[in-house]
Amino acid sequence: MLTDLTIAEAREKLRAREFSAVDLTMAHLHAIETLNPRLNAFITVSHSQALDQARAADEALARGDARALTGIPLAIKDLFCTVGVRTTAASEILRPFVPPYESTVTAQLLRDGAVFLGKTNLDEFAMGSSNMTSAYGPVENPWKRLQDEDAVLVPGGSSGGSAAAVAARMSMGATGTDTGGSIRQPASFCGLVGVKPSYGRCSRWGVVAFASSLDHPGPFARTVRDGAILLGSMAGHDPKDSTSADVPVPDYEAACRRGVKGLRIGVPKEYRSDGMPAEIEALWQKGLGWLRDAGAEIVDVSLPHTKYGLATYYIVAPAEASSNLARYDGVRYGARQDGAELSDMYGNTRAAGFGAEVRRRIMIGTYVLSAGYYDAYYLRAQKVRALILRDFNDAFQQVDALITPTTPSAAFAQGEKMDDPIQMYLNDLFTVGANLAGVPAISIPAGLDANGLPLGLQIIGKPFDEETVFAVSAEMERAAGFTALPQLRAGG
Amino acid sequence: MSLDTATIRRIASLARLTVTEDQLEPLAHELNSILGWIEQLNEVNVDGVEPLTGGAQMAMKMRDDVVTDGGYPEKILANAPDRAGQFFAVPKVVE
The DSSP annotation for A340-381 comes to SSHHHHHHHHHHHHS-HHHHHHHHHHHHHHSTTTIIIIIIHH
Contacts of A341 in chain B (CB under 8 A): 91, 93
Containing structural domain, residue B19: 5-42
Q: Does the residue B24 lie in any domain?
A: yes
How far is it, in rounded angstroms, from Cα A336 to Cα B86? 19
Catalytic residue among A158, A198, A203, A473: A158
Residue A124, CB half-sphere, CA atoms under 13 Å: how many? Answer: 22
pLDDT confidence bin for A311, thresholds 50/70/90: very high
- What ipTM did this prediction achieve? 0.95
Q: Does the residue B23 lie in any domain?
A: yes
- How many Å separate Cα A177 from the centre of its chain? 5
Fold of A2-263+399-480: Amidase signature (AS) enzymes (3.90.1300)
Q: Is A383 a catalytic residue?
A: no
For the cut 80, the answer to whether the pLDDT of residue B60 exceeds it is no
pLDDT tens digit sequence for A389-403: 999 999 999 999 999
Contacts of B35 in chain A (CB under 8 A): 364, 367
Using a CB–CB cutoff of 8 Å, tell me whether B31 touches chain A.
yes
The stretch A92-113 carries a mean pLDDT of 98
Cβ–Cβ under 8 Å, residues A466 and A197: yes
pLDDT tens digit sequence for A344-377: 999 999 999 999 999 999 999 999 999 899 999 9
How far is it, in rounded angstroms, from Cα A297 to Cα A313? 32
Cβ–Cβ under 8 Å, residues A440 and B53: no
Note the pLDDT of residue A421. 82
Q: At what angle do helices A309-324 and A356-369 cross, to 10 degrees?
A: 100
- Give the gyration radius of chain B's Cα atoms: 22
pLDDT tens digit sequence for A409-447: 999 999 888 888 888 888 899 999 999 999 999 999 999
Cβ–Cβ under 8 Å, residues A157 and A125: no
The stretch A200-210 carries a mean pLDDT of 98
Q: Does the residue B54 lie in any domain?
A: no
Q: Based on the structure, what is the number of domains in chain B?
A: 1
Cβ–Cβ under 8 Å, residues A427 and A131: no
pLDDT confidence bin for B94, thresholds 50/70/90: confident
pLDDT tens digit sequence for A315-350: 999 999 999 999 999 999 999 999 999 999 999 999
Cβ–Cβ under 8 Å, residues A360 and A314: no
Instruction: State the best of B52, B76, B92 to mutate against chain A, taking most chain A CBs within 10 Å.
Output: B52
What SS3 state is found at A444?
strand
For the cut 90, the answer to whether the pLDDT of residue B59 exceeds it is no
Pairing of strands A73-77, A115-120: parallel
Cβ–Cβ under 8 Å, residues A391 and A129: no
pLDDT confidence bin for B1, thresholds 50/70/90: low
pLDDT tens digit sequence for A374-392: 999 999 999 999 999 999 9
The stretch A285-289 carries a mean pLDDT of 98
The stretch A201-227 carries a mean pLDDT of 98
Q: Where in chain A is the domain with CATH 3.90.1300.10?
A: 2-263+399-480
Kind plus residue range of the DSSP H or E element containing A267: strand A264-268
Cβ–Cβ under 8 Å, residues A385 and A316: yes
Instruction: State the best of B4, B14, B18 to mutate against chain A, taking most chain A CBs within 10 Å.
Output: B18
Give all strands (DSSP E) within A5-152, no chain letters.
Answer: 42-45, 73-77, 115-120
